[in-house]
Amino acid sequence: MTIAPAEVIAERHARVRDDVGPGVTVVVATKYVAAGEMSALVDAGVEVVGENRAQDLEEKHALYGNAFRWHFIGHLQSNKVKVVNALCELVHSLGSDSAARRLTVPALLEVNLSGEASKSGVAPDEIAEFVARYPLIRGLMTMPPLAADPESSRQTFRRLRELAAEHGLPELSMGTSQDYRVAAEEGATLVRVGATIFASERG
């Protein structure tokens, strides 16, 4: 993917931050940004990036290091935890005991609220057990079913907020480019946005 110029990225990033307000961290999802193009995000003043793959995380961190705060937002395999521990300040996608046992950085527990077999995450009734066992869990994350209308995600986000409150967890990672405004209205403390910020053309 060819990404937009730094000044365009800066403008879009500022707009998203204004949309969600000062209490929400905007995590720029860089799955489709080549390592060599990450410099545009530096120039645009992006502070927090989210990577989906451990291999890409290593490559990009080797080039840009402390230019960003690094989050891991993809499916976390237990054999990749060592990389994440070394490079990230937060994991958004904890979903297994095997990964949790190896983590040494704070994490958000991914919750599958839709019940879709294709989605990662734990069931709502498993949250208490994970939270009791792993004190590094700071909050919850979820991915609602894909929908054209952002309002379709509201009930999912509201349910995640209720579950987080029930378990005394302060952080909520929910909302992507399609529905981050609704997520912020429903209590997100982190939103994960990508193409809406850096794509060379608006989709």
Predicted local confidence at residue 196, as pLDDT: 92
Burial (0-12, 13-18, 19+ Cβ within 10 Å), 166? exposed
28 pLDDT exceeds 80?
yes
Distance CA 73, CA 108 (A): 10
Distance CA 111, CA 103 (A): 18
What are the Cα distances from residue 143, in Å, to 102, 122, 172? 24, 12, 12
Asked whether 93 and 71 are in contact (CB, 8 A), the reply is no
Least confident window among 36-50, 109-123, 150-164: 109-123
pLDDT score of 119 more than 70: yes
> What is the rounded average pLDDT of the residues 152-171?
97
Give the pLDDT band (50/70/90) at residue 115.
confident
Residue 203 — very low, low, confident or very high, per pLDDT cuts 50/70/90?
very low
| DSSP secondary structure letters along 126-166 | GHHHHHHH-TTEEEEE--PPP-SSGGGGHHHHHHHHHHHHH
Largest CA distance in the chain: 46
Q: Are 9 and 202 in contact (CB under 8 A)?
A: no
Contact of 175 with 183, CB cutoff 8 Å: yes
Q: What is the arithmetic mean of pLDDT over 21-36?
A: 96
pLDDT-derived band at 201, boundaries 50, 70, 90: low
Residue 148, pLDDT above cutoff 90: no
Contact present, 102 and 119 (Cβ < 8 Å): no
Please say if the pLDDT value at position 202 is more than 60.
Answer: no
Q: Please give the DSSP secondary-structure letter assigned to residue 21.
A: -
Over the chain, what is the mean pLDDT? 94
pLDDT of residue 200: 83
* pLDDT tens profile 64-109: 999 999 999 999 999 999 999 999 999 999 999 999 999 999 999 9
